[in-house]
Structure 1
Amino acid sequence: MALGGLLVVVCVLGYAWGAVRLGDRVQVLAVARPVAAGQALAAADLKQVSAAQDPGAQLILVGQAQQVIGRTAVVPLLPGTLLTPSLVGEAGFPPAGKVAASLALKPGQYPQGLASGAQVAVYVSATGTGGDGQAAPANASRAGSAPTRLQAVVLGVDLAGDGQGATVITLLLDASDGGRLAAAPAGGVVLMQAAPGGN
C-alpha cells in the first residue's frame, strides 16, 4: 500500500510539473516554406508553433503577424525556422549596412554542397591567380601578407556559373567589407563554411 501511495504522489507531481512547463509556452511565428533573401513575407510563408517562453530569444509572437507580413527576409529562411526581429527587414533589399556581391569561384575556392543560407568565412588574400593561372603581378599584391577574413551569408549558388568552369556565388556581407572584396585579385578569394551561429 505504501508503494502504491508513493506511485500516486510521483504521478501527481509529474503531472503538475508538466502542466507548469506547458503553461510557460507561447505561440510564435515560424517559417512555413522556403523564403529567399530579399523576398517579401506573405501570410502563406508563416505558421504558428508553440515554443518555450524565453525573453532572451526575442521570438515574434503570433499576435505580431501583421507587423511581419510585407517585410523582407534578411537571409534565406528555411521551413521551421523560428522568426526573430533580426531575420526580417524593411521592404527594401539589401538591408541597411549590407551589400550583395556575386563571385565567380573555381572548385577549391568554396566547399562542396554550399547552399543558400549558409554562413561563410570569406578569406581575401592580396595575392591570387589570373584567369590563365599565372600569379598576379608583384605590384598588385603584398607578398607574405595574411588574408583578410570577412563574414557573409550565402544568398545563392548558381552551378551553371559563368560558362568558363566557375560557379557564381552571391553573398550578403557588411557594406564596409564590400570594397575589400571588390579589390580582391583573381583567385584571391576562398570561402569556408561556418557552423550555424559560429564565427
Structure 2
Amino acid sequence: MTSIRTGEQGAGPEVGSASWVGKNGKLTAVPTGRRTRRRLPHLLVGVLLVVVCVGGALWWSSNAQDRVPVLAVARPLSVGHVLEPADVHEVEISAADAVATVPTEQASAVLGRRMATSLGPGSLLTPSSVGPATIPAAGYAVVAVALKPGQFPLELAPGSPVLVVLATSPPSATQLAGDDSTWPATVTGVAKAETDQNTVISLQLPGTTAPALARVPAGQVSLVLLAGGDR
C-alpha cells in the first residue's frame, strides 16, 4: 500500500489530509487534523455574564447600605400609654424614604414618654407619636359607637384601621356622607360597658362625615377590620 500526498487545489483532498491508495486503486482521504472552532462568541457571552453578576452584586450592596434601622410599633398602643421597650421593635427602611421616623439609636428619646396618638402593630414610630395628645387630629373628629358582640372583630384595638358599615342608611346620614354607606376610620379607644353587653368604641374619622355617623341609630353600625395601610 502506497501513501501519496496531494498538494494541488481542486485536484484532491484538502491540504492537511493524507491520501491512501486502497486495494481497489481509489484514493481515500483521511483527515490528519481538526479545524479550530471559533470561540469568540462564547467568550463574549462569558464576559457578559460576569458583567451582569458584578452589576447585580453592586446594586444589591448599594441598596443594603442605603437602609437604616428605625423603631416600629410591636403591639397596639393607645393614646396616653407610657412607651416601654417591649412596645417597639427595630425595622429597616430605605434611607431615601421621606418619612419622619425615630432611628433605633435614639430610642431613649421616646421611651418613657406618653403616646400622643393611638397606633397599631407595624406602624412606624415618629417624633410626633409621643407627647401631648393629638386626638382628634386636625380636620378629624372622634365619634363613640356602642356595639354588641358580632358587630366588631374581637381583634379590634386602639390604632386599628376599620371600615364603618351601615346596616341601613337613614336619609340624613347618606346625604352628609355623599350617598355612601361605608366610611374609613381609626379606632382610638375600646371600653367594655359595665351595665350591658355593649362595647363602646371611639372612632376617629374626617370631621365632614363624623356628624353623619353620630346620627345613625344604635345597632345599625358594624366595623370591618382592615389590614394596616388599607385605609
Check whether TM > 0.5: yes
Distance 1:90 1:96, change over 3 A: farther
User: Are the structure 2 counterparts of residues 175 and 90 from structure 1 closer, same or farther at C-alpha, using a change threshold of 3 Å?
Assistant: farther
- Letter of the aligned partner of 1:166 in structure 2? N
| Shift, 1:33, TM fit | 4.4
| 1:169 alignment partner, one of 174, 196, 201 | 201
Decide whether the 8 Å contact of 2:153 with 2:224 is kept in 1: no
1:154 aligns with 2:154: no
Offset at residue 20 of structure 1 (A): 1.1
Q: Contact 2:68–2:93 (CA<8 Å) still a contact in 1?
A: yes
| Number of residue pairs the alignment of both structures matches | 182
Q: What's the RMSD between the two structures over aligned residues?
A: 4.0
Kindly name which structure, 1 or 2, has the bigger radius of gyration based on alpha carbons.
Answer: 2
Distance 1:92 1:142, change over 3 A: closer
Question: Residues 186 and 22 (structure 1 numbering): CA distance in 2 closer, same or farther, change over 3 Å?
Answer: closer
1:41 is displaced (CA, Å) by: 2.1
CA deviation after TM superposition for structure 1 residue 62, in Å: 3.2
- Does the 8 A contact of 1:38 with 1:93 survive in 2? no
Secondary structure of residue in 2 paired with 1:51 = strand
**Counterpart position of 1:23:** 65
Structure 2 counterpart of 1:74, one-letter code: T
Label 1:49 to 1:119 Cα distance change in 2 as closer, same or farther (>3 A): closer
Q: Which residue of 1 aligns with 2:120?
A: 77
Higher relative contact order (CA 8 A, sep 6+): 1
Structure 1: gaps of 5 or more residues: 128-140
Kindly state the Cα deviation for residue 18 of structure 1 after the two structures are TM-superposed.
1.8
Which residue of the partner structure matches residue 130 of structure 1?
none
- Aligned to 2:162, which of 111, 120, 128? 120
CA contact (8 A) 2:164 2:185 kept: yes
CA distance in 1, matches of 2:59, 2:143: 51
| Cα gap change, 1:101 to 1:91, in 2 (>3 Å) | same
SS at structure 2 position matched to 1:55:
coil
Q: Does 1:40 align with 2:82?
A: yes
Give 1:54-65 correspondences, 5 Å limit: 54-65=96-107
* 8 A contact 1:36–1:75 mirrored in 2: yes
Quote the Cα distance in structure 1 between the aligned partners of 2:67 and 2:226.
31
Q: Distance in 2 between matches of 1:111 and 1:180?
A: 19
User: What's the CA shift for 1:73?
Assistant: 4.8
Cα 1:169/1:84, change in 2 over 3 Å: same
Counterpart among 185, 189, 197 of residue 221 in structure 2: 189
Deviation, 1:28, is: 1.6
Partner SS, residue 103 of structure 1: strand
Deviation at 1:50, TM superposition (A): 2.4
CA distance in 2, matches of 1:96, 1:81: 17
Q: Distance in 2 between matches of 1:114 and 1:152?
A: 16
Q: Deviations over 1:49-106 (max 9, x none)?
A: 322223334333335545534141522331x4332456x1533363554555442223
Conservation of the 8 A alpha-carbon contact between 1:105 and 1:168 = yes
Deviations, residues 137-190 of structure 1 (Å, cap 9, x unaligned): xxxx869965665442124555x6555443433333456655544443333434
Percentage of matched positions with identical amino acids: 36
